[in-house]
Structure 1
Amino acid sequence: MRARHLLLTALLLPLLAQASLRCGQNLVEEGDSVEQVLAACGAPAERKVNPPALRNNNVPKFNAAETQFWTYGPENGASRHLKFIDGKLVEIRVER
């Protein structure tokens, strides 16, 4: 029984942990919009936008999404990498 609880906890913990990033006195979290992150952190040092995949007739493919990859820093030896899908922050990574 105890092993089952440990396994369940190990599987669910990553789902419960939501990454956040401090920008000055502001805090951004996964789920925030592009606009919210811009307001809190300002313009990124690097920004790459990938439009949704298109069919031959220039209509977006089914379930195609725009992705954006932003980089802030380096600051204090760390770069912060943000990934957006369809305007929502889905991943925050810090690399030293």
Structure 2
Amino acid sequence: MKRLASLLAFSLLATNAHASTLRCGTGLVNEGDSTHEVQRICGEPLERHVEEPVLNHDKGKLRGNPVKVENWIYDRGNGSRAYLRFTNDSLSTIETRR
């Protein structure tokens, strides 16, 4: 019983959480949703960062298989933020932090 209480207390103190779903008002967004769908449900993010493909400086060509990556941040209130990562316009990761 004491061990269970310790595990429960630890889980409540965790500051990072990975989820596959995020509630925005009365709507839900899920991993795999498009950037358009997420913005329609959650609105404009607080911050939006686009990671540009890496160039090979010797030849001026794209290195590897370039993908479009965007990172969005939503303010969840009470010091909590949701960090969403999109790969090729598809939501790939949802993480909340305090």
- TM-score normalized with structure 1 length: 0.72
Whose RCO is larger (CA < 8 A, sep 6+)? 2
Residue in 2 that maps onto 1:40: 41
Tell me by how many angstroms 1:59 deviates.
5.2
Quick check: 1:75 aligned with 2:72? no
Q: What is the CA–CA distance in structure 2 between the aligned matches of 1:27 and 1:75, rounded to whole Å?
A: 17
> Percent identity, aligned pairs only?
37
Post-superposition CA distance 1:8-65 (Å, at most 9, x none): xxxxxxxxxx610000011000000000000000110011011223456765444111
More strand by proportion, 1 or 2? 2
Structure 2: how far apart are the matches of 1:55 and 1:95?
35
Structure 1: where are the runs of 5+ without partners? 1-17
What SS does the aligned partner of 1:80 have?
A: strand
CA contact (8 A) 1:53 1:65 kept: no
Aligned twin of 2:97 = 95
Give the AA of the match of 2:37: Q
Structure 2 residues without counterparts, runs of 5 or longer: 1-18
* SS of residue in 2 equivalent to 1:79: strand
How many angstroms apart in 2 are the aligned matches of 1:88 and 1:31?
A: 5
Task: State the match for 2:10 in structure 1.
Answer: none
Number of equivalent positions = 79
Task: Determine helix, strand or coil for the equivalent of 1:38.
Answer: helix
**How many angstroms apart in 2 are the aligned matches of 1:58 and 1:86?**
22
Normalised TM-score (structure 2): 0.70
* CA RMSD of superposed structures (Å): 1.8
Higher alpha-carbon deviation: 85-94 or 49-58? 49-58
Q: Does 1:24 align with 2:25?
A: yes
